[in-house]
Structure 1
C-alpha cells in the first residue's frame, strides 16, 4: 500500500490526503497485531483483547475528554464517565462487529483501502504526498504501515456492517412532525420561589430535638481521615544547564515538525463597508447597493481608496482608511476571505455580501505561505528540546531518589545524602488541597493509598516530579455532641425551616389550583411573581436548568389546568408554576425544516438501531474478563 501511494504521489487522490490520519492516532492510537498472550484483558468469543490495545484505547479516550473539558478535566471526571469501562466496551463491540463482518463475508478491496487512506488530511508537504513524512509520523506513533492499514481495513469493515444493519431504517412524517413540535413548541410560565431561609426565624430551638437529630445523623459529624507527608520536589528548570543539544538534533526535530513553523498565506487589505441591517427592507437594501456601486466605480477609476473609505465606510476602520492590516483566511467571515484571497496585489473586488452588509475590498499586499527557515527558529527549537530533556532528567532523578529512599527506608535521610530539600505538608483530608501543593485529586489518591512510612512512586504537578513519604495518619472518628453542637443546631434549624417552607408552598399551590390564578395568591401573600419568557424543551429557561421533570410538566399544562399538581424543588428553593402562554410551532416552519429534521431523525434512528443490534450481540456473546483493569 505504501508503495502504491509513493508511485501515485502526484495523483489527484493523493493531493487531497492530510490530517484525518492524525485523528485516527488520537482516537484509536494504533496497536500491533503481535500482542503477546501474557498481556490479555478479555476474551470475546475466543478473540483476545490485549492489554496494550486496551491501554491505547483508554489513553485516547482520556485525551479526548481532556481536550473537550479543558480546565474542568479531572481524575473524578474520568471516574464519573467510567472511561476504563468505556474503553473496554468499545473494544468488545469492535470484536463483535468484525465477527459479524466475517459471517457476512464482507471484504475491503485494495482500492477501497487506498481511497480511504488518501482521503485523510495527513502526509503532505506543500500540498503533495510525502512518503518520508508518512514514515516519520508512523514511526513517531510506534506504528508500522502494515498495522496502520490493518486498522484502517477494520474501520471500513465496521462501517460496512453498520450500513448493512441500518439499511432499512426509515423516518415517518408523523415522527418528524412529533419531533418538530416537541423541540419547537414554546411556553411561558409564571412562577414563585419559596426560600426556606425566610422561615428560619419561625423555628424555635428545642434542645431535646436537636440532640435527637444528632443521634440520628451521627455520620454527618464524622471527622475525615487525614495524612501528613514529607516530600522532595524535582524541578526540570534546575537541570537545564546539564542539557546539551546538537545542531543535528535541532535539524531533525525541525524537519519532523515543519508544520509547527508554517506561516499561512496572509493578505493586507482595505475595505469599505456599507452596513445593511438584518431588518432592512428590499427598497432600503437596493438603495445601499446602488450607493455601493457608485463608490466601486470611483475606486476603479483611480480615486484614492483610503480616502473613499474615510468618506463612505460604515466600519470602525473608516478613520484608518479602511485598513485591516494583514490577516489569515480564517480571520474573516468566509465570503469576505474568499474574495480577498482570490485577488492579486492592487486589485479591487466586486461588491461582496456578508452578514455585516456589502464590502468593497482592495488588496494592498500578499504574503504567500511559507515555512520559517531553520535559522529563524533554531534557538526556539534548542530551548524546546532542552526543556523536554530537563523534564526527562527530573523524572530520572526522582526514580533514583525513590530507590535510595526505599533502601534507607527514610526519605529525610535520603534527601540529606543527596543534598535535596525536604518539605512537610501538614495534615490534610482526602477531599482537601494538599497544603503548599494545591488541589490535585489524583495525588491525594496516591497519598491516601500509602501505608505508614511508605515511600510513594513519583507523581507530577505540572512539569515537576515529586516523591513523598507518609509520616502521619490521623484516623477518622465521630465527633462528640459538645464538639459539633453549634453545627448540629444550625442543621436542625435548616431542616425545620425546609419543612415549614414545603408545607406553606403546598398550601399556596392548592389555593392556586382551586382559583386557577397564581398571581392572586402571590399578591395576597406578598410573593414576587417571575416569568420565564418563552422557551422550548431543548432550551429550558430559569429556574429549570436540568430539571427535566419540570420541563415535561411545563409542556403538559393547559389553559384549563394551568397549575401543576406538585411543588418542585430546585437549588434548595420550592417553586410553584403556572402556564402563562403557549405558542405551538407553525406548519410553515415544519415545511421549511422538514428535510433537515428527516436527516437528524434518520441518523438518530440508525444509531438506535445499531445500538440495539450490538446490545443483542453482547447478550449472546461469550465475554470473559481475564484481569482487573
Structure 2
C-alpha cells in the first residue's frame, strides 16, 4: 500500500492528498493541530477548572427537573440567565467543598459509596439491590458506571461536609425557654389611625410642581417598544367541540374501549401504624417491640379496631379503628399498596415498613372491578371519542399549518384558510407581554420581537402553548420606544404627587398627636374626621384580627415602663399613619409538647446559620474566576 502511494506521488493522487490537507488547515487552522483540542472552561476555583461539560450536564438536569415541575409554565417562570447563574454557583460551591475535603483528609470510602448506591430505591428489585437494574438505569440516563460513581463520591463528600455542621447543632434548654417566652408573649394594644384620604381634598399641587417632577423623572415616562400581532390558533379542545357523533359511532367506540369505562377493583383496609422516632437501629428496634406486642394481643383474640385506637399513631384513622376506607391500587405508598393487593379478606399482614413507620394491615373487603353500562357513561364516551378524533386531526392540521405558513410567509390568510380558522389581531404589547394566555406566553413574546418576525416581517413557525394548542404569528404593527410628553402623563403625575402630599400631611398630624400623647393627653380626644381610635385588647404573634404588619410592629414596640403605656408610630402600605399603644405585656407558659417544635426549629436555624457561615468563609478564601462562556455554552 505504502509503495503504491509512493509510486503515484507525482500523479493526480498526490494532488488530491495535498488539496485535502490544505483544505483542512484552511478550515480549522494550523494552530489547532499544534495545540490540540482544549476543554472549554466555564470557571476556575483556586486554579482548578470547572469544565463546560460539568456545567452543561448539571444545567440540563436542572432544566429537565424544572420543566417537569412547571410544565407549560416553564418559559414564563424560569429565566435562563438566572438558571445558568445558579448552576455555575452550585458547581463553584461544590468545588470549594471538594477542595476543603481533600485538604482535610475527608474521603468517601468504597464501602460508603456502595452502601449509598445499594440503598437507592431506583436500583432495587423486590427490596434487593440489582446489579442488572443498576446498569440498565445508568445506561438509560446516559451514564457509564465509572462516571456515575465518581459523581456520587462528589455528592457524598459534599453531603458529608454539610452534615458535619448540621449534625453537631443543638439548642440548649435556656435558648428554648427564651424562645418559648417570646413565642408565648401577649400584648394588650390599642391604636390611633390617621387616614391620609381626607388630606387629598386639602393639599394642592401646582402645574409647575408637575412639570418639575416630569423633568426630573423623564426616564420613568418612556413608553417601551411595542408590537401588535396577527395570529392563528390551532387547538385540540376547539377541534373536539366540532366533531360530530351519533349513537352507532359512540357505541362502537364504547365496545372498542370498554376497559376505559370499567371501574377498577377497590379494597377496604384498616391499619395500625407504629412510627419510628429516629433513623437509628435503636429506634427501629423500639418500634418493632411495640409491633410484636400488638401482634401478640391480636393472637390472643383482641380486636384489631380496639388495638388501632390504642396503639396507632395515624391521627386520621386511629379514632375510627384504623379504617382507611376504600381505595384503588396505586393510591397508597408502594410497600403498603403491594401488601394490601396481595391479601385475602380477613387477613392481617406481617409488619410492612414504609416511610411512615411499621404497619399492621387488615383487609376488610374487596370490590371487584365493574364494567359501567353504556347509558351510564355516554357523556364520557362522547368526550373521549371527540378528544381522540381531535388529537388525530390536530397533528394533521398542525403539519398543514406549518407548511402553508412557511411557503406563503407574507400572510397568515392562506394558512388560516387551510386549517379553517380566522386570523385574530392583538392589542399592542411590550416585551413584558400583554393580557391573555397568548400574549403573556414567553415563547410568543420572544418570537414577536425576534429578528425573523419583527424585522423581516415573516410568519413564525408554530409556537407550542401546551395541551395540544399552538399559534402561528406575524407582526401587524410595530411602535418604537418613545418618550411620553408631559401632557400625556401630567394627570397621573398630579395624582401621585397629591397622594404623596396627603400621606406627608397625615404623617405630620401623627407626629403632632404623638407629642400630645407623650404630654398625657387621652387618645380618645383626638377622634375627628380621618382620625380613629381602635381598642383591640390582647394579641399574640399569631393573631389574625389585625394586619400582619400591625402585629409585627406591636411586638417591636418598647414594653411599658412603670405601668405607663408606650407608643409606636409607623406607616401602613396604604399611606395611613398608625400610632400604636402597648399598655401591658404578659407571657403564657408553653407546654413541653408546644416547646418540642421550637427546639427542633431553633436547632435547625442554628445549623443553617452555621452552615451558611462556613460556606461564606470558603467563598471568601477562594479565588474564583467566572468565564463569560457559561452564559451561552450548550
Offset at residue 89 of structure 1 (A): 0.5
The one of 513, 521, 528 equivalent to 1:508 is 513
Q: Distance in 1 between matches of 2:234 and 2:508?
A: 60
Offset at residue 326 of structure 1 (A): 1.3
Matched, 1:104 2:88: no
SS in 1 for 2:121: coil
Q: Counterparts of 1:341-352 in structure 2 under 5 Å?
A: 345-346=345-346
| Structure 2 CA distance for partners of 1:586 and 1:54, relative to 1, 3 Å | same
The one of 604, 610, 616 equivalent to 2:614 is 610
| Structure 2 CA distance for partners of 1:393 and 1:198, relative to 1, 3 Å | farther
Residue matched to 1:410? 410
| Structure 2 CA distance for partners of 1:331 and 1:409, relative to 1, 3 Å | closer
Residue matched to 2:475? 470
Q: Distance in 1 between matches of 2:459 and 2:341?
A: 61
TM-score by length of 2: 0.60
SS in 2 for 1:112: helix
Q: Counterparts of 1:162-561 in structure 2 under 5 Å?
A: 162-163=162-163, 175-204=175-204, 206-233=206-233, 266-268=267-269, 325-327=325-327, 345-346=345-346, 364-366=364-366, 404=406, 410=410, 412=412, 415=415, 423-430=423-430, 431-433=432-434, 437-441=438-442, 443-450=444-451, 451-452=454-455, 453=457, 456=460, 459-463=463-467, 464-515=469-520, 518=523, 521-522=526-527, 527-529=532-534, 531=536, 534-536=539-541, 539=542, 545=548, 551=552, 554-560=555-561
| Structure 2 CA distance for partners of 1:95 and 1:328, relative to 1, 3 Å | same
Residue matched to 1:572? 575
Q: Distance in 1 between matches of 2:46 and 2:401?
A: 44
Q: Distance in 2 between matches of 1:484 and 1:595?
A: 56
Write out per-residue CA displacement over residues 477-499 of structure 1, whole angstroms, 9 at most, x where no aligned residue. 33344444543443343233223
CA contact (8 A) 2:401 2:415 kept: no
Offset at residue 158 of structure 1 (A): 1.6
Q: Distance in 1 between matches of 2:202 and 2:212?
A: 20
| Structure 2 CA distance for partners of 1:434 and 1:188, relative to 1, 3 Å | same
| Structure 2 CA distance for partners of 1:419 and 1:527, relative to 1, 3 Å | closer
Q: Distance in 1 between matches of 2:517 and 2:47?
A: 65
Q: Distance in 2 between matches of 1:122 and 1:386?
A: 37
CA contact (8 A) 1:265 1:328 kept: yes
Q: Distance in 2 between matches of 1:554 and 1:49?
A: 48
CA contact (8 A) 1:236 1:394 kept: no
Residue matched to 1:582? 585
TM-score by length of 1: 0.61
Matched, 1:154 2:154: yes
Q: Distance in 2 between matches of 1:553 and 1:344?
A: 61
CA contact (8 A) 1:237 1:387 kept: yes
Residue matched to 2:93? 93
CA contact (8 A) 2:180 2:589 kept: no
CA contact (8 A) 2:186 2:538 kept: no
SS in 2 for 1:570: coil
Residue matched to 1:141? 141
Residue matched to 2:45? 44
SS in 1 for 2:107: coil
Q: Distance in 2 between matches of 1:97 and 1:385?
A: 53
Please say which of residues 97-106 and 508-517 is displaced more in the overlay: 508-517
| Structure 2 CA distance for partners of 1:496 and 1:521, relative to 1, 3 Å | same
Residue matched to 1:257? none
SS in 2 for 1:515: coil
User: Number of aligned pairs?
Assistant: 497
Write out per-residue CA displacement over residues 453-512 of structure 1, whole angstroms, 9 at most, x where no aligned residue. 266565431243444333431123333444445434433432332232222222223333
Write out per-residue CA displacement over residues 200-228 of structure 1, whole angstroms, 9 at most, x where no aligned residue. 23345655545555555545544442202
Write out per-residue CA displacement over residues 118-150 of structure 1, whole angstroms, 9 at most, x where no aligned residue. 222224455455555545543443333333322
Q: Distance in 1 between matches of 2:41 and 2:497?
A: 54
CA contact (8 A) 1:123 1:133 kept: yes
**Structure 2, gaps ≥5 residues long:** 1-36, 241-263, 273-300, 306-316, 350-360, 369-384
RMSD: 5.6
CA contact (8 A) 1:200 1:493 kept: yes
Larger radius of gyration: 2
CA contact (8 A) 1:186 1:584 kept: yes
| Structure 2 CA distance for partners of 1:609 and 1:487, relative to 1, 3 Å | closer
